[in-house]
Amino acid sequence: MLNIELFPILLRFLFGGSAVVISTIVAKKFGGRLGGVFAAFPAVYLAAILGLSIDYNGSELLLISEQLSKGALVGMLADICCALAASYFILRSGWKKGLVYSLLLWAVLAPAIYFVWFRF
């Protein structure tokens, strides 16, 4: 059966939620560009690595962390493309359509980058 532990979920919630709150505060106080830097904080990645350390140890932890990190690189490349696309599409199509277009682009690019990079 599905075994879900509460601590790793709370850890991800804390990291992710904190990153969103901090980026919002920074954007309101210092402007959107600096807020965007904080919006790109790898909270989910760090929480995932910490969560792995609860379930794995030794060489198994190193292997699974390396795999997660390679996947994170793919996701970050797709995120950069998504952010660039969002700035383009939002200005031309409004924020609702712009976000939809940029997220659709991400949904296509992330698997494409993954399959090209890892040749699956």
pLDDT in tens, 34-74: 888 877 778 778 888 888 888 889 999 999 999 999 999 99
Q: How far is CA 47 from CA 3, 16, 66, 104, 119, in A?
A: 18, 8, 15, 26, 28
Cα separations (Å) of 52 from 13, 14, 70? 15, 16, 15
What's the whole-number average pLDDT of the chain?
A: 88
* Location of structure tokens 């709150």: 21
Report d(CA 61, CA 70) in Å as an integer.
14
pTM recorded for the entire structure: 0.75
The dihedral sign for the CA sequence 43, 107, 73, 55: positive
Examine the pLDDT at 1 and tell me if it is beyond 60.
no
Predicted local confidence at residue 13, as pLDDT? 84
Q: Residue 3: pLDDT above 80?
A: no
- Quote the pLDDT of residue 46: 84
